[in-house]
Structure 1
Amino acid sequence: MVQTLSPSRQRPLVRLIAARPLLSFFVLSFVPSFAYELVCIFVLRLPLVPWMFAAPFIGPFAAAFVVTAATDGRAGVRGLLRDLARWRVGARWYAVAALGLPALLMLCVLPVSGGPAAFRPDPAALGEWAFAFVLVLIVGGPLGEEPGWRNFATPRLQERFGPVAGTLVLGVMWGLWHLPLFLIEGYNHAGSDLAATAAPYAVFLGFTVAIAFLFTWLYNRSEGSGPIAVIAHTFCNVSLLPVLFPGVENDLHYEIVQLAAFSFLAVVLVVATRGRRGWRGAR
């Protein structure tokens, strides 16, 4: 039987985390990741890959388990692990994550590529794309980030602020967590100075807020399935653009169209679900 220590017998740091779990989670997600990334960028001057793969595991992944252990003990950690491995959900949610989301991302290409004529699938590029997808799926950002953003933060933010406001908060925090990467020239169109980086980062931040509504809806409807969130996130990170639209550049104009499309989708989901986002309250 698992025994939980009373507050008076807990260590001071554990009591502090247990008293402010959401705040503790975000602090533990940001501070270690930011420190690690800034050292890699400015002190060690390491290349972007592979060092960036460790940041999510140092941040939101570790934070989710540390705070869960402090607040809910071993039973809570086991519950978090069960959610991360919850793969037995309806096939339609895998279809949304693996087909619907990529399809919408690719539809956003049409306004900036000259229309359907730009659709020229290149089978030769599929192997390279598949390798990148598996690599990112296993060791990249999604597996490190999603246990924190979705499985830990999403249900707690919804309980505290409601589905809409909670998702807004999470979308902003999710985008802010990526800020150090925009100090690297060329990352997501970041420039060499603040002025040249402001617009790309603003678009990225807006996109994380918009797509967070889709992720919250998927999380709620799939009963908190970790694999669904990781798959959806991986399709966002590993674009099918080189496979389906070779020759079309993934530039800032394309990302602005994505921002507009997913902002519209977020509004549709909020209206269609009457702000509940598929949420049924605490599970």
Structure 2
Amino acid sequence: MATEHQLTEITDLTDLRELQRLYLIDWPRHCVGYFWLDNYLRWLKDDPQIRHLTFYTLDNDWASDGLFLLVHRYQLFFCNLSRRRPQLERALRLLDWSAGYKVSAIHAEHHLVYRQLLAELRLGMDREKNTIMYHLSCERAKQLEIECPAGYYLDRVRLEHAELINDLWSARHPGSLYLIQLLILNNTNMGLYEKETGLLCAWCLRLQSGFLGALEVRESHQRRGLGVIVAAAIAQAIARDLQQDVTALVNLSNAAACRLFERLKFSLVQGEHYYWSMTLPKASGQIDWSYDE
């Protein structure tokens, strides 16, 4: 008789911390899974009642291969240590796909399983991007030299800027404004402001995956090197405040972003490709992720 598998929740914080520690092996090979867990464990520490947040594994066995699926609102992340496909495929099949997901950091070794599953479930896709990963060690990030140009100052991004950041974000989608607000409130971020006007000219946020994201310079202030400054500043802040390495995903077509991170001495992680993707709801075919908590 075939074994009937079950998608089970991981609810014990001690288990989640033990799961996170598994992802320290062969660092930074599994850093993406580590940072996803780290982000939400920090959020849970500040707010133990976060809604719409669930950690899953298959058959209550996260310890043997670190397999977990993380769902927060409409966002999905999945990972295992061996990157073997059968167990992960079984877990993904048991997930409810009816409302659609924004799926982040799909490792290239899991991408085929994901695409085959979408085809079998007859799920449409809104968009998908292939990215490469850059990495900077904590120690090197601490040593970055940051020279803020005359007439500017560095400070945290304020919540009042969430709409501006969301409007200019290349990954903007229904529901992303609330996500940007969460990131501003809970994660390391950095903004570069004009002293005279207080205008926010450049910014960068840290995503739940640990990656630097929403890195942007106002069009009126481009070609002044401000993107490099704000990226260096947030990298240094992550290293000093969290004692963690810094990572960034860059779309394959974004040569300017590659040059920026290489200028800051980030290393391209060879052979590591990650995809992010948006699946459409099964019934309506229309994304509606605009609800909040």
- Common topology (TM > 0.5): no
Higher percent of residues as strand: 2
- TM-score, scaled relative to structure 1: 0.23
Higher percent of residues as helix: 1
